Amino acid sequence: MSAEAELREQICLLARSMFDRGLTGGSTGNISARTDDGGLLVSPTGTSFGRLDPARLSRFDAAGRLIDGDAPTKEMPLHTAFYDTRSAAGAVVHLHACHSVALSLLPDVDPDNFLPPLTPYGIMKLGKVKLLPFFLPGDPAMGDAVRGLSGKRSAVMLANHGPVVAGKDVEAACNAIEELEDTARLALLTRGATPRALTDAEVRAVVTKFDVEWDD
């Protein structure tokens, strides 16, 4: 099996796993990954993560031209913004994950650091998550907002919509976005109970030990 065929299978396997566990439902969510020749494989528009067909993934060449497969997700500007501003990005995942969306609806979250520091793993895998305002689905302005971050964030939360994460490869991106959703769930479960979050010193220790991107 070629490297691209393996990547196609991996995209569909990971997407199905997230769908089966309720991390995104219906025909929501989209996923993309870099190919060895600098192109992209992208989930098609209107498709379910539970039923992606490896042979029908949208295939772009290195110049950004669609050369094979079905029409891509309408959120392509969001994906390309991450690839264009983060040279290490090998994959991008966007979900409509329930707990992170719920957290984005609350009035007192920090837009510059959306997730509270409840465990080291959210910090290790995501750094600071930027909460972006509401945009209409498919609005190219979402991509403009990501470009405005100048590559400083690997993860953003679209208010009232869902998280988007870039990773070095498709497995890393999926693992990170699951950590984002898990941390949001913990934040909601402990809300109002004054949980003991990590201290600033503990956060700094995690950032230093694991070489996390962390702009103060």
Positions in the chain whose pLDDT score sits under 50: none
The domain spans of the chain are 3-209
Chain segment 46-85, per-residue pLDDT in tens: 999 999 999 999 999 999 999 999 999 999 999 999 999 9
Active-site annotation holds for 83: no
Q: What is the largest CA-CA distance in the chain?
A: 53
Q: What CA–CA distance (Å, rounded) separates 113 from 107?
A: 14
DSSP state letter for 71: P
DSSP state for residue 38 in the 8-state scheme = S
Q: Residue 52: what are its φ and ψ, rounded to 5°? A: -70, 140
Residue 216 is predicted with a pLDDT of 63
As given in the structure block, the two tokens for residue 88 are 């290490």
Q: Of how many residues is the chain composed? A: 216
CA 45 to chain centre: 17
Q: What is the predicted pLDDT for the residue at 1?
A: 81
- List the catalytic residue out of 25, 98, 119, 121: 121
Task: Classify domain 3-209 at the CATH superfamily level.
Answer: Class II aldolase/adducin N-terminal domain (3.40.225.10)
**Distance, CA of 61 to CA of 86 (rounded, Å):** 18
Residue 187's SS3 state is helix
